[in-house]
A = this chain, B = another copy of it.
Amino acid sequence: MNSTTPLLPNFLAGRWQTGAGVGTPLFDPITGAELARVSSKGLDLAEGFAFAREQGGAALRALTYTQRAALLGEIVKVLQTHRDAYNEISTANSGTVAKDTAVDVDGGIFTVGYYAKQGAALGEHHFLLDGERIRMGKDPLFQTQHILTPTRGVAFFINAFNFPSWGLWEKAAPALLSGVPVIIKPATATAWLTQRMVQDVVNANILPLGALSVVCGSSEGLMDQLQPFDVVSFTGSADTGRIIRSHPAVAQRSVRCNIEADSVNSALLDPSARADSEAFKLMVNEVVREMTVKSGQKCTAIRRVFVPRALYEAAAQAISAKLAKTTVGNPRNEGVRMGALVSAEQRDNVLAGLQQLKTEAEVLFDGSQAELVDADPAVAACVAPTLLGTRQPTSARVLHEVEVFGPVATLMAYDSAEEAYQLIRRGEGSLVMSVYSEDPAFIAQTAAELASSHGRVHAVSPDVAALHTGHGNVMPMSLHGGPGRAGGGEELGGLRALNFYHRRSAVQASTAALEQWANVPVFKA
């Protein structure tokens, strides 16, 4: 271990604080080199959370939506200024090629910019009306008006290793716009980028002190700080999600909790498709892209690919042919199309998961025979893409339940649309499914059938081949989250994201009192 790497400071209670001890090291997943260290040991967490809640919260709530939106606009400018540094950190610490880095870094900046623009339209107000007034009886003089007010607590985020930038900003932008201070605890493996972005924003003096804090390292004791009006948002494994939801802060003190967990997402090819149809080609392209972008380390990536039985072999061949062109290795080499997983631990997890899936599936494509480019296979956390397949998905169990968080997907043959719907639902709740079809009626039917088990349905048809935003890309205007094993959360979805940071209340009063709010806008997602 190289003890000369910097111990990244935390920003808490309005000041930079270095944790105790030597800290936990962060590595380059390609070279194995140590990059930095993090420690949250010895921090006065109670002081830090109280500072954010009281000072940060009061200062943010004193601003209007339009004023807070303007601050988001300032954040965008600062982040754009330092974009090269973020790209370098991402390459080094996440092992991502340039286009994968962009999904995280530019995706995060884009999302802040989206909320800066949307938020500006909310106006010079401190709360919002929810719906119109409703009469409480025949006489119109006594009515109920629902309103949305910012919660008087902190928003605490526990984030995943795969999106150190986007994962921070897709949550922080709606929180700050809502007037709720943010404390971010990034995943240790890739915490550097999160820490650096917060550092740049803090140093630019954009936000009131206490509005944005970062704690890197162990999460010990953090949940214990949460009080009834705080909220917690977690992205990561279902197992950690269970621990968070069982914590007394949530279970007992009713801290509002949003969880976005892993899920076994699906792609569905129209039953009437042929091997030469446009829908087939669009599906193949999207599956290959989803398997390889960020080395398959996206919660939204396609894991199960449902094709009509007659197209099983054609799909296997077409997907495999494209995967064979995916060069894997050091992202600094321009010939490389897919970089590393974030850590050796993740590589081991993916390889172990693959073994599990193989108990129920055949291997249709195995990329592991190709040599890594510019990377030592004994050191680099690289895993080549693997396409598995089964002609009997109905009798499978592991394939519908186990998510391997890497460049892995399983092709499945189905006999009818109804059977495909049932098989897709066996994921027990997913973030997203995509449907590939030339038939608007089939797309609408599939969406209405599968919406209740998915946070998002993404439909690809030839008319939007060049326009669609991708199965796995999370756009700020669409809801992100899914029921059941996907965690039951809701993020983004345009201004719907503000719901999580606001309390809805009914105000029953005389019309004269409610008239005081005549100029307050009605919330509209």
- Chain A residues packing against B (C-beta within 8 Å): 126-127, 130-131, 134-137, 139, 141-142, 144, 146-147, 149-152, 227-229, 238, 241-242, 245-246, 248, 250-256, 259, 261, 425, 428-429, 440-441, 443-444, 447-448, 451-459, 461, 463-464, 467-469, 475, 477-479, 483-488, 490, 493-494, 496, 502-510, 512-517, 524-525
B238 touches A242 (CB 8 A): no
Cα distance A453–B487 in the bound complex, in angstroms: 26
Number of copies: 2
What residues on B are CB-neighbors of A144 within 8 Å?
Answer: 475, 477-478
Cβ-closest chain B residue relative to A470 = B508
What residues on B are CB-neighbors of A461 within 8 Å?
Answer: 509-510, 512-513
What residues on B are CB-neighbors of A229 within 8 Å?
Answer: 428-429, 452-453, 483-484
What residues on B are CB-neighbors of A508 within 8 Å?
Answer: 456-459, 468-469, 475, 478
What residues on B are CB-neighbors of A458 within 8 Å?
Answer: 508-509
Main secondary structure of the interface of A (DSSP, over half): mixed
Cα distance A253–B479 in the bound complex, in angstroms: 20
Q: Contacts A459-B509, A513-B443 given; indicate if A245 touches B250 (C-beta within 8 A).
A: yes
A152 touches B467 (CB 8 A): no
A451 touches B505 (CB 8 A): yes
**Can you list 13 A-B contacts (CB < 8 A)?**
A130-B525, A136-B478, A142-B467, A146-B479, A227-B428, A228-B429, A444-B514, A444-B516, A451-B507, A456-B508, A469-B508, A479-B504, A493-B506
Cα distance A386–B452 in the bound complex, in angstroms: 50
Cα distance A428–B454 in the bound complex, in angstroms: 34
Cα distance A443–B150 in the bound complex, in angstroms: 19
Q: Contacts A151-B483, A477-B134, A483-B228 given; indicate if A141 touches B456 (C-beta within 8 A).
A: no
Shortest distance between the CB of A18 and any CB in chain B (Å): 34
Cα distance A466–B316 in the bound complex, in angstroms: 74
Cβ-closest chain B residue relative to A467 = B142
B503 touches A483 (CB 8 A): yes
